Structure 1
Amino acid sequence: MSLSGVHVSAATWTITYPRPLTDNDLRAEYPIALLTLALEKTGVKYTLLPSERILLQGKALRQLKENREVNVVWSMTDAQREKELLPIRIPIAKGLIGWRVFLTTKSQLASFRAIDSKQALLSKTPVQGEEWPDTKILQANGFNVFTVPEYPQAFNILETGRASFFPRSVIEIQNELDSGELSADIVVEPRLSLYYPTAMYFFVNRGNVTLARLIETGLQRAIEDGSFDALFNSTYQETLKNLELPSRTVFELDNPAMPQHTPLEDSRLWYKPASVK
């Protein structure tokens, strides 16, 4: 997509995204910063606002599909979401959404020490959200997934032992640990990780082609002038170092729901922190 040949009004664009769950929910900081960067690169006048009410991911995506409350949402992609919504196919976290490390409990931590294969890991029960693409990926790879309707419930399921681990992307886990809202019993498993090819995109309503072109043009300009990578590195470099991904045992999973137009061939768009085993 390009803005060339598209008339962009001089009026101010009002762009509304899903309000974070709490003031301590830091997971939205980077997507909002990247969206702001992209809009600045286009030179348009804009106002960037959170939705009036808190919208969990499933609700936010439904409201976006119906053109209500929000007009941009960032989310992991799958074939169904790309059918219902209009994706801007630039992975906003360079594929890190598919690199997963595990939250578990102190009482279950020792049981992961003997795991040295994907088959052994299948004996463990992960917890995930009912509508998350990750759930289908894990199920397709043989995991018996405990699902919950809403994200905050996953931590309770983990804490009460009904699930063995909660796979979290490397771009989420540090913010969750820093939020101060997790039980002291929940810890990071230090040895293992999962990888599956996937992307987190900005999505807009299928009818909002001009907004999609606007955001994509800004992202492309940020890639070309290095400001995309600068923001990415300043946000995640420390986390990647702390999680020690290169020294972890990485199990690669298939992603049968990955859309065929995922731009896997463009190496500028992806970050690979470790060799996959």
Structure 2
Amino acid sequence: MPRTLSQAAWRWLCGLLLASLLTPPLQADDSGTLRYPRRADGDEFRSLYALAQLQLALDKAGSSLRLEPSHYSMEQERALVNLEHNDRLDVAWSMTSVEREQRLLPVRIPLDKGLFGWRIALLPKDRAQLLKDVRNLEQLRQFSAGQGHDWPDSEILRDYGLPVRVSSSYGSLFRMLQAQRFDYFPRSVIEVWDELEHPRAKQLAVDPHVLLHYPTAMYFFFSRKRPELAETVRIGMEKAIADGSFERLFQQHFAASLQRARLDQRQLIELHNPLLPNATPLQRRELWFTAPPVR
């Protein structure tokens, strides 16, 4: 016949249950995982480079944290809101802005070496020569650009009087372009070629004529409640830069894309970025891409 628990044992068991209810959820350093935003199905390719650099940084820092996607896919702003509140997300990466650096904790080492500010356009195939005669900003203003509603790029373009049409969904921008809801879709030179291979871009082409440039950076961001995570990744990235492994990984992913973009054969249109934080490390030349002379 089973023995009944003693009064002392009941007190111990009740105390254990109460403690489990009061204990906060496991965070990245407790659970051994670092949670990042899951991409929508079919868009996983957009995270491959950032995840490779993040894993490299963790390895260089001697961290045992394991990368794990969020349970659900997230558009950019949803991911940043979750991160800001330290809610089921530990890290995200995006283009920086003054507003984002106020909300979140950046690691100020540009993953993209600034190349998210070097933009060439996606166009419908039957309008592939649309920008052939564009030589300056005034001529570019004749055409409308498509952008995400919460992307810093939208404000940068509008600051120069460039017409912008926006969407809350990344995928819908491709459909809007094909339907000519706007004229061109400026994309980073290091993302446009992979996007072109996606089935949703089968009726699109890359413009061969114009190159937009504004200074910016894509950073890893962390919650301001988790500075230790940011510091771990910063230390690892600095080590990767120092031993050359950051650059080797960058070239492995993007050397062919940069060659294919033929930057030196394009008409360059320079824009100022009013959203660029003063703390951007522009003085560290080793962190930035150096473009060949362009027209």
Q: TM-score, normalised by structure 1?
A: 0.93
**SS of residue matched to 2:240:** helix
CA distance in 1, matches of 2:59, 2:98: 30
1:191-206 correspondence to structure 2 within 5 Å: 191-206=209-224
8 Å contact kept, 1:25–1:179? no
Deviation at 1:24, TM superposition (A): 4.6
Quick one: which of 153, 156, 162 aligns to 1:143? 162
Which region of structure 1 is more displaced relative to structure 2, 110-119 or 73-82? 110-119
> Is structure 2 residue 93 aligned with structure 1 residue 80?
no
Which region of structure 1 is more displaced relative to structure 2, 169-178 or 260-269? 169-178
Deviation at 1:275, TM superposition (A): 3.3
Quick one: which of 43, 54, 67 aligns to 1:48? 67
Larger radius of gyration: 2
**SS of residue matched to 2:249:** helix
> Is structure 2 residue 289 aligned with structure 1 residue 241?
no
Residue deviations 1:158-206 (CA, integer Å, cap 9, x gap): 1111101000011211111122332x32111111110000000000001
Q: Which residue of 1 aligns with 2:172?
A: 153
Q: Which runs of 5+ in 2 are unaligned?
A: 1-27
> Is structure 2 residue 73 aligned with structure 1 residue 59?
no
Deviation at 1:66, TM superposition (A): 1.1
8 Å contact kept, 2:266–2:294? no
8 Å contact kept, 2:263–2:294? no
Residue deviations 1:26-65 (CA, integer Å, cap 9, x gap): 1100000000000000112111101110011111001101
**SS of residue matched to 1:111:** coil
Q: Which residue of 2 aligns with 1:175?
A: 194
**SS of residue matched to 2:130:** helix
Q: Which residue of 1 aligns with 2:17?
A: none
CA distance in 1, matches of 2:106, 2:50: 15
How many residue pairs end up in the alignment? 268
One-letter identity of the residue aligned with 1:221: K
Residue deviations 1:217-248 (CA, integer Å, cap 9, x gap): 00000000000000001110000011111211
One-letter identity of the residue aligned with 1:274: P
- Aligned CA distance change for structure 1 residues 209 and 67 (closer, same or farther; 3 Å): same
Quick one: which of 198, 207, 210 aligns to 2:225? 207
CA distance in 2, matches of 1:244, 1:233: 16
> Is structure 2 residue 61 aligned with structure 1 residue 37?
no
Identity over aligned residues, as a percent? Answer: 38
Q: Which residue of 1 aligns with 2:87?
A: 68
> Is structure 2 residue 132 aligned with structure 1 residue 113?
yes
Which region of structure 1 is more displaced relative to structure 2, 224-233 or 153-162? 153-162
> Is structure 2 residue 278 aligned with structure 1 residue 263?
no
One-letter identity of the residue aligned with 2:75: L
CA RMSD, Structure 1 to Structure 2 (Å): 1.5
> Is structure 2 residue 112 aligned with structure 1 residue 93?
yes
**SS of residue matched to 1:176:** helix
CA distance in 2, matches of 1:93, 1:191: 22
- Aligned CA distance change for structure 1 residues 115 and 208 (closer, same or farther; 3 Å): same
CA distance in 2, matches of 1:209, 1:108: 48
Q: Which runs of 5+ in 1 are unaligned?
A: 1-8
One-letter identity of the residue aligned with 1:62: V
CA distance in 2, matches of 1:185, 1:266: 40
8 Å contact kept, 1:65–1:84? yes
Residue deviations 1:6-29 (CA, integer Å, cap 9, x gap): xxx996631000011224531100
CA distance in 1, matches of 2:260, 2:112: 17
CA distance in 1, matches of 2:42, 2:203: 23
8 Å contact kept, 1:38–1:222? yes
8 Å contact kept, 1:12–1:45? no
Q: Which residue of 2 aligns with 1:132?
A: 151
8 Å contact kept, 1:101–1:189? yes
Greater relative contact order (Cα 8 A, min sep 6): structure 1 or 2?
Answer: 1
8 Å contact kept, 1:101–1:169? yes
Quick one: which of 153, 164, 182 aligns to 1:163? 182
